[in-house]
Amino acid sequence: MRTIQSGKGMVLGILGSGSGSNMQAILDAIAEGSLRARIALVLSDRKDAFILQRAERHGLATGVIDCGSWATKFPDEVQQATAERLLAAGVEWVCLAGFMRMIKQPLLAAFPNRIINIHPSLLPAFPGVAAWKQALDAGVGETGCTVHWVDEGMDTGPVILQGKVPVLAGDTAELLHQRIQQLEHRLYPAALQLLSQRENHQN
Ligand code: GAR
């Protein structure tokens, strides 16, 4: 049985496939003292993902998740190995930050109620890829981002925190994604701090 060391702050593992700006926002919140946490391990399924370079610049432990020739699948045995790496690094909370593969058992089983994702829409609207583009194409007046618990579905787990942004006349997909990301960078650390406080109250 693992002991959750909430008194010392959250021990985070980050999984990402892209630029890692959300991981950077988490690091910035830790540095400025608004989030009591540390990042123990950063893993990516893309060996050339910028998130790994960012993490290395900050002296963080990094690793590549090797899914072989599978472009989007996250095979069970690779999920098992990923869970073992995270546990061996002392990770207590797994944060998906632009990680583009579906999480299933056995990773879910290794971190029950401890895997969190950020998604660039007001879930349950626009799950899946390029949610900002889906919002633009649908012609909605506002969209946003959601921090939620991860379950076996695609962006279906219970919501922890949401924030809204307007869709403005003349928006391109890129402009809208930038506006959503500015909010993500505040929302993700805030959601983690909220979870940390909840945990401390329960202990
Ligand atoms: C973020 O906008 C995140 O919400 C999105 O990928 C981007 C990653 O950016 N995630 C998803 O779409 C997951 N379904 P980052 O690598 O700069 O943090």
With vertex at residue 44, the alpha carbon angle to CA 4 and CA 197, rounded to the nearest 5 degrees, is: 30
CB atoms within 10 A of CB 78: 18
pLDDT at 63 over 70: yes
Residue 2: the pLDDT is 47
Q: What is the pLDDT of residues 135-185, one digit of tens each?
A: 999 999 999 999 999 999 999 999 999 999 999 999 999 999 999 999 999
> Does the CB atom of residue 184 touch ligand 1 within 6 A?
yes
- Which residue minimizes the CA distance to atom 3 of ligand 1? 98
Ligand 1 neighbourhood includes 146 CB (under 6 angstroms): no
The amino acid present at 125, given as its one-letter code, is: A
Q: Is the dihedral of CA 2, 195, 21, 154 positive or negative?
A: positive
Q: How far apart are CA 30 and CA 35, in angstroms?
A: 5
For residue 5, pLDDT over 60 is answered with: no
Please report the pLDDT score of residue 177 as a whole number. 98
**What domains, with CATH codes, occur in the chain?**
10-202 (3.40.50.170)
